[in-house]
């Protein structure tokens, strides 16, 4: 189909090529087919219109959006080449199908390889040039075997083409990654990954064989194996069969049905029984594998939940240990704060004591300068000390005698004061003592008495000290 359509486009003697305007060729849904736009209705042609015009094709129309170019899927194997074929002639033969790369010719063995821009152009070139005569021999064109393709099995139904390409891009450049689906578009659990070179494919095969590559959340590793190449497009034509003795022997009879009761029918039945047994055993093996997969998935889910519980326990224990450690740090911080507060309180108390001591020292230093008793006050203090004697402390507040106060005789007043100051037991009962038990004289009382004596010398003023 593609060869016939392309011949219609490039054939200069075609009836549709009479129009001087070029025809537009669009990329069809099927890459192996190339359709041509409808030709204009026939009309009366002038002699000038009968001249042949060659059609031109825009090669960009044969490129799909986002399609990668010059991949190994665009690589053609050309066999049965003449021994005098040069590389320039080989390129010229494929020049009308666009730019070509990786041109290789083995003249001794008569084959070569060429890589075109897109898969569609390679299919068109294969369909048009396969079987053409070149140097009195027909050339044979096939798609070259993809040596860097891998088959991926055990895939989850949620894996897409993009995820498959993303997962295998870590091993090298990926030209094509596709998930194999059935006729309803459901995933079959298989995929094909085609790398740009063989080292990347070998690296992916070794890494996935030694380790476990996971594509999803489930611990379900992918299984990698080299892709077995099949040519299901051309098959084996009659002209390519070798006409050997076995060929002639087997082809003596035409296709037919075996008649019941004959030798052919008996052994045909036995072949069919063997095939049925193989089918049953395959089905049994598939059922066993399916049951084993389901059991493994159930165990995996249970182990997954157990693992999650264990991780949660470990996380809880870790959090508790962290809380305990934080509590210890908090207690240590509180103890440090208490120690710091106690230290500050002690320093504050020490500073207050130092301030009080300093203030007392200042008072002591300031007292001799601000208080200087006169000679009369000193004399009066000595007299009172002599009068006290061995009778103990004298209470100057209780020694006030009104009778002696009104008397004009100072001597009688002094005597009355001394007699009235004595108690029934002969001890002093005069209020606050002038000299306490510690031997220190009350300076306030002495100073007031001395001032009164100095002012007038009157015994009445000298005896009237304030009560304690």
Task: Report the C-alpha gap between 356 and 377 in whole angstroms.
Answer: 31
Question: pLDDT at residue 168 above 60?
Answer: yes
Query: Strand 223-226's sheet: what is its strand order?
Result: 174-181, 187-195, 149-153, 223-226
Closest by Cα among 59, 146, 144, 147 to 104: 144
* Distance separating alpha carbons of residues 102 and 109, to the nearest angstrom: 18
CATH number of 72-143: 3.30.70.330
> Which of 127-141, 273-287, 320-334, 364-378 is the least confident region?
364-378
pLDDT average, residue stretch 24-31: 39
How much is the average pLDDT of 267-289?
94
Per-residue pLDDT band for 247 (boundaries 50, 70, 90) equals confident
Measured between alpha carbons, how far is 453 from 449 in angstroms, rounded to an integer? Answer: 6
* Cα 128-129-131 angle, rounded to 5 deg: 110
Segment 75-102 shows an average pLDDT of 89
Residue 16 has pLDDT above 90, yes or no: no
Apex 42 CA angle, 36 and 47, nearest 5: 110
More confidently predicted of 10 and 267 = 267
Domain boundaries, the chain: 72-143
Q: Which residues contact 108 (CB under 8 A, 6 or more apart)?
A: 83
Q: Crossing angle, helix 443-456 and helix 375-388, to 10 degrees?
A: 120
Q: How confident is the model at residue 453 (pLDDT cuts 50, 70, 90)?
A: very low
pLDDT single digits (tens) 348-364? 999 999 999 998 888 88
Lowest mean pLDDT among 131-145, 310-324, 375-389: 375-389
Q: What is the mean pLDDT of residues 95-115?
A: 89
What pLDDT is recorded for position 60? 65
pLDDT of residue 397: 44
For the chain, percent of residues with pLDDT exceeding 70: 66
Model pLDDT, residue 24:
38
Give the pLDDT score at 394: 44
Q: Is the pLDDT of residue 443 over 50?
A: no
Confidence of residue 214 (pLDDT cuts 50, 70, 90): very high
136 pLDDT band, cuts 50/70/90, is confident
Instruction: Quickly state the pLDDT bin for 114 (edges 50, 70, 90).
Output: very high
Q: What is the pLDDT of residue 230?
A: 79
Q: What is the pLDDT of residues 388-402, one digit of tens each?
A: 654 444 444 444 444
Q: What share of the chain is helix, strand, coil (3-state, %, to 5)?
A: 50, 10, 40
Q: What is the pLDDT of residue 217?
A: 87
122-128 mean pLDDT: 91
DSSP lists the bridge partners of residue 179 as 191
Task: Report the distance separating Cα 324 and Cα 20, nearest Å.
Answer: 92
* Least confident window among 36-45, 180-189, 277-286: 36-45
Q: Please say if the pLDDT value at position 182 is more than 60.
A: yes
Mean pLDDT of 38-43: 44
Lowest mean pLDDT among 126-130, 276-280, 416-420: 416-420
Rounded Cα distance, 431 and 398, in Å:
5
pLDDT-wise least confident of 161-165, 259-263, 429-433: 429-433
Most confident of 241-250, 367-376, 449-458: 241-250
What mean pLDDT, rounded, does the chain reach?
75
Contacts of 463 (CB under 8 A, 6+ apart): 399, 400, 401, 404, 405, 413, 417
Counting residues of the chain whose pLDDT is more than 90, the rounded percentage is 38
At 143 the three-state DSSP class reads: strand
Mean pLDDT, residues 362-385: 66
Report the pLDDT value the prediction gives residue 42, as an integer from 0 to 100.
44
User: pLDDT of 297-337, one tens digit each?
Assistant: 899 889 988 989 999 999 999 999 999 999 999 999 999 99
* pLDDT at res. 59: 63
């Amino acid at each position: 189909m593609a060869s016939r359509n392309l011949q219609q486009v490039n054939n200069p003697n075609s009836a549709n090529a009479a129009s001087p305007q070029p025809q537009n060729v669009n990329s069809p849904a099927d890459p192996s087919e190339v359709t041509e736009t409808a030709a204009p209705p026939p009309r009366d042609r002038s002699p000038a219109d009968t001249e042949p015009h060659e059609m031109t094709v825009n090669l960009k129309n044969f490129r799909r959006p986002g399609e990668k170019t010059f991949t190994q899927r665009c690589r053609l194997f050309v066999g049965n080449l003449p021994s005098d074929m040069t590389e320039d002639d080989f390129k010229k033969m494929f020049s009308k199908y666009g730019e070509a790369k990786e041109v290789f010719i083995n003249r001794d063995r008569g084959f070569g390889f060429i890589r075109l821009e897109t898969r569609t152009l390679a299919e068109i070139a294969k369909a048009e040039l396969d079987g053409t005569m070149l140097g009195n021999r027909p050339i044979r064109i096939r798609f070259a075997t993809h040596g860097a393709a891998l088959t991926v099995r055990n895939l989850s139904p949620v894996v897409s083409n993009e995820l498959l390409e993303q997962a295998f891009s870590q091993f090298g450049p990926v030209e094509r990654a596709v998930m194999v689906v059935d006729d309803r578009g459901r995933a079959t659990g298989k995929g094909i990954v085609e790398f740009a070179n063989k080292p990347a494919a070998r690296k992916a095969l070794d890494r996935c064989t030694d380790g476990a590559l996971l594509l999803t959340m489930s611990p379900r590793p992918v299984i990698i194996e080299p892709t077995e190449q099949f040519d299901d497009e051309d098959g084996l034509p009659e002209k390519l069969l070798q006409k050997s003795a076995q060929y002639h022997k087997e082809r003596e009879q035409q296709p037919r049905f075996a008649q019941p009761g004959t030798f052919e029918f008996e052994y045909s039945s036995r072949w069919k029984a063997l095939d049925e047994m193989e089918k049953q055993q395959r089905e049994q093996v598939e059922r066993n594998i399916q049951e084993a997969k389901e059991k493994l998935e159930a165990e995996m889910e249970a182990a997954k939940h157990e693992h999650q519980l264990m991780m949660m326990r470990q996380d809880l224990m870790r959090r508790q240990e962290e809380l305990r450690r934080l509590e210890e740090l908090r207690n240590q911080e509180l103890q440090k704060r208490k120690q710091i507060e106690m230290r500050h309180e002690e320093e504050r108390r020490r500073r207050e004591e130092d301030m009080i001591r300093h203030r007392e020292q200042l008072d002591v230093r300031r007292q001799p300068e601000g208080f200087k008793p006169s000679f009369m006050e000193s004399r009066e203090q000595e007299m009172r000390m002599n009068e006290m004697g061995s009778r103990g402390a004298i209470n100057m507040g209780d020694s006030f005698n009104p009778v002696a106060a009104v008397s004009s005789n100072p001597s009688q007043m002094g005597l009355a004061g001394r007699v009235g100051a004595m108690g029934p037991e002969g001890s002093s009962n005069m209020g606050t003592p002038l000299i306490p038990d510690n031997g220190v004289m009350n300076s306030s009382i002495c100073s007031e008495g001395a001032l009164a004596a100095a002012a007038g010398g009157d015994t009445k003023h000298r005896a009237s000290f304030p009560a304690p």
